[in-house]
Amino acid sequence: MRQVIMDTETTGIDPKDGHRIVEIGAVEMINRRFTGRTYHQYINPERHIDAEVVAIHGIDDEKVANEPVFAQIADEFWAFIEGAELVIHNAPFDVGFIDHELELLNRTRGGAPLGPVRQYCRVLDTLTMAREMHPGQRNSLDALCKRYDIDNGHRVLHGALLDSEILADVYLAMTGGQTALTLDADTSSSEEQTANPSSEGLSVQRLSLTPGQLRVIRPTDEERAAHQAKCQAHQLNWFKESGHDAQA
């Protein structure tokens, strides 16, 4: 599965008030592995950036004065996200701004319009996911980093690409399973690290694996038979404890 973990920075809170995107950052994963492909672009919003949001992301009018406008980067950006599952923290905010930009652009590609996003991409909102997993708790990106022991000490200001990279690590930790595997082809030893979202913390490293390096060990017939017998024994015990007839 192809996923694009992404974030945007904007001139203000609501596109209905004329606010625009000033930065887009995204990283690509396929089957929970980082591919190394990223997308990052500052954008001239063609309007003033509110001081309140400059204090958050550090992007002021001068910084983006010579950057391309959205119309100039739309095709490249759309090609990067089209068809992917987008993983976004507080997705309605970012998707709303992207759809607003595409609506203003009113452009087609191959005869089809660019956008709206949800017609061409699945969208997974990690904020909604976090609220379901941790009800009643703080679920900002910073809070999730602390909860899952993800290092975000280098995050002084919000930045779209940095936030996307951090969110990718948080998402992998939230969804469990293996998040890191390092294989050294030059030595006879291998080191594995797995995500463990517990109080003991976890260590996340980006996966770098050449096809064919991972050895798959399959069970023998005897091991399969032993496993099946154990499963049947557990099932029988469950029927007995729950008052059911195992032969029913």
Query: 55-70: per-residue pLDDT in tens?
Result: 989 999 999 999 999 9
Q: Which amino acid makes up residue 171?
A: Y
What is the mean predicted confidence (pLDDT) over 32-53? 96
| Rounded distance between C-alpha atoms, residue 8 and residue 6, angstroms | 7
Model confidence over 187-239: pLDDT tens digits? 333 333 333 343 344 444 555 555 555 566 777 888 777 777 666 655 554 44
- Please name the residues in contact with 21: beta carbons below 8 A apart, sequence gap of 6 or more: 8, 9, 10, 11, 43, 45, 70, 97, 98, 101
Taking CA atoms, 27 is separated from 22, 39, 121, in Å, by 18, 6, 15
Confirm if 4 and 26 have CB atoms less than 8 A apart: yes
Q: For residue 60, give the DSSP letter.
A: -
Model confidence over 120-130: pLDDT tens digits? 999 999 999 99
| Rounded distance between C-alpha atoms, residue 105 and residue 94, angstroms | 17
| Rounded distance between C-alpha atoms, residue 147 and residue 161, angstroms | 21
Given the residues 48, 89, 154, 158, select the one marked as catalytic. 158
The superfamily (CATH) of domain 2-174 is: Ribonuclease H-like superfamily/Ribonuclease H (3.30.420.10)
Model confidence over 97-119: pLDDT tens digits? 999 999 999 887 777 778 899 99
Residue 11 confidence (pLDDT) above 70: yes
| Rounded distance between C-alpha atoms, residue 181 and residue 34, angstroms | 11
Q: Does the annotation count 100 as an active-site position?
A: no
Burial of 141 (0-12, 13-18, 19+ CB in 10 A): buried
Least trusted range by pLDDT, from 33-47, 82-96, 138-152, 184-198: 184-198
pLDDT band at 173, cuts 50/70/90? very high
- Characterise 230 by phi-psi region: left (phi > 0), alpha (psi -120 to 50), beta (else): alpha
